[in-house]
Amino acid sequence: MSTNAKRRKMRVLFASSEAVPFAKTGGLGDVAGSLPRALKHAGAKAAVILPKYSTIPQEYQDRMKHVADFYVPLAWRNDYCGIEKLTLQGLDFYFVDNESYFKRDSLYGYFDDGERFAFFAKAVCEAIARVPELECDVLHCNDWQTALCPVFLREFYREVPACNNVKCVFTVHNVKFQGQYGDKMLQDVLGVDDIPAARDQLRCDADSINFMKGALCYSDWLTTVSPSYACELQMPFFGEGLDGIFRRRSNILSGILNGIDQGIWNPATDSMIPRNFSPKDMSGKAECKRALQEELGLAQDPTRPLVVSIGRLTNQKGLGLVRYAMDGLMARGVQVAVLGTGDADQEEAFSYFSNKYGNQMCARIAFDNALSHRMYAGGDLLLMPSEFEPCGLSQMIAMRYGTLPVVRETGGLRDSVQPYNKFTGEGTGFSFANMNADEMADTLLGACEIFWTDQKAWSQLQQQAMAADFSWRRAANDYMDIYHRLHPEIIRYNKRRDR
């Protein structure tokens, strides 16, 4: 043991633009709400920091305590920043308060998003420098909204005692969203125009900058949310212009499959579904299906396979294939239920099918968490033919409820769904390789064939899917390994190897 070895908990500050139950638009919110808690169980001292949006439910806002306030320097301005704190089920959440940036109707989609999240990133650095309880060994940043933290920390806070030994881990949840803005921001907002390294690493072409590129260059370690996506990011098709950097830094790039909160997503205890069930007693699932068919205006027929789809209605999710195959699926007597919001053309297309096929197809254009629980519980199959999928949570949740996923073999879908092998009976779902509607329909109808003709194989697949381990414990241990690699002087406090 070296002389400066420290036997104490690794202090991890998890910076994210969303975290359940305060703010969520997608998988990032789920991850930031669950992973830090799992890190605590794995032996870290973890806390989360996120913006204090006015959309955070009032009950939580009422319980926040004021911890500190100061001014954050952003180029030529100094903006007010309050730090509020709320401890929820033993985990500390800190909120960056600035009404001019975060008192809005939704999380993103504003003309000044670049400035808003540049402010957030700078506020996180300033908070680490000023608020003793936020001192950390690792600052774990997520996606473009926090991508400037590693840049600011290195360029502006190197000399600050609380900051000079902080290592930055950056996780890519989706490389499609990078935070690209005009290069005027370098001077006007970021204040790095006269720092050649920062200017060069942030610039992506003649007149624009890219927040995520900055994080990829400045961070001490890079991760993404599945092993397959870590490989895919290094290819031009998936890398969205950043594949060269991922290749260059592949020695510090890890793919760690996300988990799901198995306390929230548990059919045996879920209070949002009409009847609970478990691998030992699946009888409640039939009632969940019947109730869902009734709720969605579908024929209440147990012999019809009910295919559900829950997620953002965007091109990423491969919905073009579903649209193309819809008439054929309807002709075979399959029921389809879609829950999601997103691109106008996708919303319109699924509403059209809903009108056309009355009691066989239903589209709910909404973000409805309670309905999503009932759909995961009541469906027979979950369809997810994504063009790319960094990790994907819906397929893991579905498996937990014995709803078998039909997925395209990409990213986290490939890493989490074991395709059915009719010779051995192994598998937790079904998969296909190409972005081809006929291939998808064949795979889906092949799954329906088993549903119709081989009850024993179907039940076995459900059992195997429900037994799959998607807990956060495995992922948390992998992240802890990375943190300790970056801080070898901190002796592992509570090394759990029970994966």
Would you call 499 helix, strand, or coil by DSSP? coil
Which of 264/325 has CB closer to ligand ADP? 264
Count of residues of this chain found to bind ligand ADP when the rule CB under 6 A is applied: 17
Q: Per-residue x/- marks for ligand ADP, 262-301, CB under 6 A?
A: ----------------------------------------
| Nearest C-alpha neighbor of 354 from the set 366, 336, 380 | 336
> Please, are residues 453 and 416 in contact by the beta-carbon 8 Å criterion?
no
**Which H/E stretch holds residue 59?**
helix 58-63
Q: Which range touches ligand ADP (CB under 6 A), out of 24-32, 143-151, 226-234, 243-251?
A: 24-32
Burial of 62 (0-12, 13-18, 19+ CB in 10 A): exposed
Question: Which residue number, 74 or 225, has a Cβ lying nearer to ligand ADP?
Answer: 225
Q: What are phi and psi of 215, to 5 degrees?
A: -65, -40
DSSP 155-186: HHSTTSTTTTT-EEEEEES-TT---EEETHHI
Q: What residues numbered 43-62 form the site for ligand ADP, per CB under 6 A?
A: none
The bridge status of strand 208-210 relative to strand 335-339 is: unpaired
Taking CB under 6 A as the criterion, the residue among 179, 305, 318, 340 binding ligand ADP is 340
Q: Of 168, 81, 90, which Cα lies nearest the Cα of 131?
A: 81
Cβ distance to ligand ADP smaller for residue 145 or 201: 145
Q: For residue 369, state whether it binds ligand ADP (rule: CB under 6 A).
A: yes
Our finding on whether 12 is near ligand ADP (CB under 6 A) is no
Question: Of 191 and 392, which CB lies nearer to ligand ADP in the complex structure?
Answer: 392
Binds ligand ADP by CB under 6 A, chosen from 15, 202, 310, 475? 310
Scanning 4-12, 103-111, 366-374, 479-487 for contacts with ligand ADP by CB under 6 A, the matching segment is: 366-374
**317 marked as part of a ligand binding site:** no
Alpha-carbon distances, residue 404 vs 249, 276, 308, 400, 463 (angstroms) = 36, 18, 10, 9, 10
Q: Identify the bridge partners of residue 50 per DSSP, sorted by sequence position.
A: 95
Distance in angstroms (rounded) separating the CA atoms of residues 492 and 18: 29
Cβ nearer to ligand ADP, comparing 190 with 308? 308
Q: Choose the binding region for ligand ADP from 109-117, 199-207, 276-284, 335-343 (rule: CB under 6 A).
A: 335-343
Give all strands of the β-sheet with 208-210 in edge-to-edge order: 180-182, 208-210, 203-205
User: Looking at beta carbons only, is 290 or 312 nearer to ligand ADP?
Assistant: 312
In 3-state terms the chain splits into helix, strand, coil percentages (rounded to 5) of 40, 20, 35
Cβ-based nearer residue to ligand ADP, 51 or 392: 392
Among 367, 426, 438, 496, indicate the residue that binds ligand ADP (CB under 6 A).
367
The one segment of 189-197, 214-222, 241-249, 304-312 that binds ligand ADP by CB under 6 A: 304-312
Interface stretch with ligand ADP, choices 99-107, 117-125, 190-198, 337-345 (CB under 6 A): 337-345
**Residues β-bridged to residue 181:** 209
| Alpha carbons 170 and 146: distance in angstroms, whole number | 9
Our CB check for ligand ADP shows the closer of 285 and 317 to be: 317
Q: Which residue is nearest to ligand ADP (CB)?
A: 27
Complex with ligand ADP: residue 61 or 341, whichever CB lies closer: 341
Q: Burial, 301: exposed, middle or buried (Cβ in 10 Å; 0-12, 13-18, 19+)?
A: middle
DSSP per-residue string spanning 250-314: GGGEEE------TTTS-TTT-TTSSS---SS--HHHHHHHHHHHHHTT----TTS-EEEEES-BS
Should residue 108 be labelled a site residue for ligand ADP when binding is judged by CB under 6 A? no
The 312-331 contact track toward ligand ADP, x by CB under 6 A, reads: x-------------------
Task: Work out whether 311 is an interface residue with ligand ADP (CB under 6 A).
Answer: yes
Pattern 372-411, ligand ADP, x by CB under 6 A: x------------------xxxx-----------------
CB of 114 to ligand ADP, least distance (A): 21
3-class DSSP state for residue 80? strand
Least distance to ligand ADP from the beta carbon of 31, Å? 8
Q: Which of 223, 372 has the CB closer to ligand ADP? A: 372
Contacts of residue 95, defined as CB under 8 A and 6 or more positions apart, other chains included, come to 22, 49, 50, 51, 52, 56, 64, 83, 84, 85, 86
CA 190/CA 192 separation, integer angstroms: 6
Told to check if 368 binds ligand ADP by CB under 6 A, we report: yes
Region near ligand ADP per CB under 6 A, out of 37-45, 109-117, 281-289, 339-347? 339-347
Tokens encoding 134 = 């936020």
Task: For the CB of residue 339, give the shortest distance to ligand ADP in the complex, in Å.
Answer: 5
Binding positions for ADP-alpha-D-glucose: 24
Q: Which residues are annotated as a binding site?
A: 24
Q: Return residues touching ligand ADP (CB under 6 A).
A: 26-27, 30, 310-312, 339-341, 367-369, 372, 391-394
